[in-house]
Amino acid sequence: MSQQIHKEFENITEPENTANDESETLEKQDHPETEDASSELMEVKDKLLRIQAEMQNVRRRAQRDLENAHKFALDKFVSALLPVVDNLDRAVDIIDEVDEAQRPVADGLKLTLKSFLDVLTQFHVEQVDPSGVPFDAELHQAVSTVQNSEVEPNTVIDVYQKGYVLNGRLVRPAMVTVAKV
C-alpha cells in the first residue's frame, strides 16, 4: 500500500512540474504581438507628448498675440493724433514771440500741449526728440545732411518733426537733419 501511495503522489506532482516548465518556456519565447503592441504604445505616447507640447506652444502664442493686440491697439489712434500734437508744438514755438497781451493764450497752449503729452505718456507713448544725439536709423529718418564742423559726423543737428514710440515700437520716426562726415 505504501508503494501505491508513493506512485500516486508522483503522478500528482509530475503535472505540476510540467505546468511550471511550460510557463517558463512561454516566458522565454519571443512574442511578436507583445513587441508590436509595446512599440505601438511607445509611438502613441510619443505622439501624445508632441501634441501636448504643440498645444502648449499654441496657447503661449495666442497669449502673446493677445498681449500684443492690447499693447498696440492704440497704434492707429496715436498715429492719427500726432499731427495735432505737432501743430500744438509749432504753435507753442511761435507764440513765444508774442506780446504780453497774448501771454495768457500762450500759457494756455503750453498747458494744453503738456496735458496732451502727459496723456500720451500714460498710455506708454514716448516722444523721440533726438537733438544732438548720434543718428539712429531705427528711430530717425534723415531728411537732409549738412556739413557742420562744430559737431561729430552723423549727429542729429536739427529736428523737423519729433518721433514717437508706443510700448517700445516705433509709431513714427523723427525727421532730422544729420551732420555730414
Residue 58 and residue 119 share a domain = no
Residue 46 and residue 88 share a domain = no
Q: 5-9, 43-47, 102-106, 168-172: which range is least confident on average?
A: 5-9
Residue 78 and residue 51 share a domain = no
Residue 64 and residue 143 share a domain = no
Q: 18-56: string of b/e by CB count within 10 Å (b at 16+)? A: eeeeeeeeeeeeeeeeeeeeeeeeeeeeeeeeeeeeeee
Residue 150 and residue 62 share a domain = no
| Domain tally, the chain | 3
Find the domain containing 16 and state its range.
1-28
pLDDT of 124-160, one tens digit each? Answer: 999 988 888 999 999 999 999 999 888 888 899 999 9
Residue 84 and residue 45 share a domain = no
pLDDT of 41-76, one tens digit each? Answer: 999 999 999 999 999 999 999 999 888 787 778 888
